[in-house]
Amino acid sequence: MSSGMYDFAMGIGGEAGQGIATPGDILARIFVRRGLHLTTYNAYQSIIRGGHIFLTVRVSDEKIYSHGDRLDLLLCLNQDTMDRHLNLMGPGSRVVYNSDNIKAEGAARGVGLCPLPIGELTQSRNRLVQNTVAVGAIMALMKLDFEVLEESLQLRFQRQGQAVVDENVRVARAGYDYTLANFEPFSQEVAQLEKPMAVWAGNEAIAMGAAAAGMKFYAAYPMSPSSGILHWMASNARNLGIMVRQVEDEIGVANMTIGAAHAGCRAMCGTSGGGFALMTEAIGAAGMMEIPVVFVNVQRAGPSTGVPTKTEQGDLWQALGASQGDFQRLIVAPTDALDAFNTMPELFNLTDYYQCPGIVISDLLISEGRYSVDPDDIDMQPTIERGSLIMEGSTTDGYKRYENTESGISPRALPGLEGKVHVVATDEHDEDSMLISDEFTNPHKRRMMVEKRSRKMSDLLGRVAPPQIEGEEDADVTLVGWGSTYGTIKEALDLLAVQGIKANQLAIKWIVPFHGDAITDILSKAKKVIVVENNESGQFYRYMRSETGLSVDGHVRKYDGEPFAPHHIVQGVIDLLKGETDRYVPYQEIMV
């Protein structure tokens, strides 16, 4: 939770097809231009029309890490939203809605109802104009200048022509003026900071990080919630010199990406759990052929098609067990959008150095959420290290692609270089790349090659930063999470402090390599340990225990498709410390 003076959250609800993204995008742009920190979460359904969609937009004058626990303003674009969420609004909040077709019944005392007679205000039959009228009303309630909104509407609709711009400005003005005349605005002024912020989605951060890392080939088959990476790549490919391919299925995606990586360019592909399942044989092929390549799995609720538009952390063991046999891989779970951006160059460097596949585990919460970011924190010129890559040929014969070196890392020649002829295949091979099954299955050579590939990772732990404790040193409880739970746990620590509970956090980002000794040292000193994760079976806890032998004092798990809110973790910790349970599963009652 922000400790700043200004912390404001609004919810925008309606059905698919009502243009919910438009008011959210317009307001988000206005907020970040004022220098405010922002985070959004969109709870939507896997349908084109209908259903229930709920977009949460939270802003603060200090850094925020989640979409929070409460709403200060609710914009209802249909009756369903009113019926679902009105009971969550508390004293001092505002509810904006179209009074022509929406009724507000049963509001708590102190909730400010702001009914807008859309038909009278707009003289239009276009259903979508209620969105723009509502944005005007919200600007008035927040005591923001209309000229700021007028400029944003110009930018938003300029491609559709000046007539569309003028119409939207007209109806927004009607909503703005009507609200000033009829409703009480919020008493607190919207904060204004000196430095404007930028805004991006987690998928955009992943894509930008890969581009900054020198990636020149990206392939994908569209699959939510990873498609945003493909969209960004397609939009920027020409300017950045990136080849982008939308392939017929994820099997083709993976093999095409490995082929591009084998040819010498940095290559990446992205998907979600179902598509990743199809890629796994190819991941093993990259491991056998020692080709550096990056795979992105943006998790959603499974198994199978599951709940395509909902978040979960259910693919950890899928990544750990991707493909058959023993082979080396890197697995990393970024903690937020900026961390995802910064992780990509590091991962590409490591895959090149160790000549193995790297897997990024994101999820819908990170990848489809939108966040403010300080442009100065985005380094588009990171250090690029290609490892033992041979890029020039020679007349010397006898090149051994898989030479059994002391480090286990064999110099990698690009295909086609003079004097560097070699075979690349998925069968086991000798140092000179000849398939051992072609002579006979030589057990000594097989063992040598398995050990060589394993040995090359022996110094990996020293190249990756171990996790560190954040929060109170002498804590009553240590919360362990991985990936996207970081921000919500961080805000929960402040709420726990208000309850008189000193808590800290150990956030795990690197899954492979796993800093087992460092984690054991930290947690063995903790008074109580609770693991927080977005799945039912405790996948990360099972993995951590297999690597360390550690037991813990309790679990907070969520697997209803929605992410944690800070109060879910707080209540779980309270109940667990009381000894009422050893496994707390919160009931989702807000922001869906």
Task: Name the architecture of domain 7-182.
Answer: 3-Layer(aba) Sandwich (3.40)
Please give the pLDDT value at position 591: 46
Residue extents of the structural domains in the chain: 7-182, 201-377, 465-584
Report DSSP letters for 380-415, one per residue.
Answer: SS------SEE-S--S-----TT---SSSPPPEEPT
Helix axes 146-157, 129-141, angle to 10 degrees: 150
Please give the pLDDT value at position 589: 58
- Count of Cβ atoms closer than 10 Å to residue 592 Cβ: 14
Beta strand pairing call for 37-43 and 50-60: antiparallel
Buried b (16+ CB within 10 A) or exposed e, 424-461: beeebbbbebbebeeeeeeeebeebbeebbebbbeebe
**N- to C-terminal Cα distance for the chain?**
20
CA angle 303, 309, 312 (to 5 degrees): 55
pTM of the full predicted structure?
Answer: 0.96
Beta strand pairing call for 510-512 and 330-332: antiparallel
201-377 and 7-182 share a CATH fold: no
Q: What are phi and psi of 461, to 5 degrees?
A: -55, -35
Sequence-separated (6 or more) residues with CB below 8 Å from residue 47: 16
Contact 224, 230 (CB under 8 A): no
- Count of Cβ atoms closer than 10 Å to residue 232 Cβ: 22
DSSP character for 190? P
Contact 563, 367 (CB under 8 A): no
Walk along the chain (592 residues) and give the pLDDT tens digit of each residue.
455 589 999 999 999 888 888 899 999 999 999 999 999 999 999 888 889 999 999 999 999 999 999 999 999 999 999 999 999 999 999 999 999 999 999 999 999 999 999 999 998 767 778 999 999 999 999 999 999 999 999 999 999 999 999 999 999 999 999 999 999 999 999 999 999 999 999 999 999 999 999 999 999 999 999 999 999 999 999 999 999 999 999 999 999 999 999 999 999 999 999 999 999 999 999 999 999 999 999 999 999 999 999 999 999 999 999 999 999 999 999 999 999 999 999 999 999 999 999 999 999 999 999 999 999 999 999 999 999 999 888 877 789 999 999 999 999 999 999 999 999 999 999 999 999 876 678 899 999 999 999 999 999 999 999 999 999 989 999 999 999 999 999 999 999 999 999 999 999 999 999 999 999 999 999 999 999 999 999 999 999 999 999 999 999 999 999 999 999 999 999 999 999 899 999 986 544 4
Domain 201-377 homologous superfamily, CATH: Thiamin diphosphate (ThDP)-binding fold, Pyr/PP domains (3.40.50.970)
CA gap 360, 121 in Å, rounded: 50
Where would I find the H helices in 395-538?
443-455, 485-498, 516-523
DSSP character for 260? H
Please give the pLDDT value at position 362: 98
Number of H helices and number of E strands within the chain? 18, 23
CA gap 411, 293 in Å, rounded: 16
CA gap 388, 87 in Å, rounded: 61
What top-level class would CATH report for the domain 465-584?
Answer: alpha beta
CA gap 244, 215 in Å, rounded: 11
Beta strand pairing call for 37-43 and 370-373: antiparallel
Please give the pLDDT value at position 5: 86
- Count of Cβ atoms closer than 10 Å to residue 163 Cβ: 9
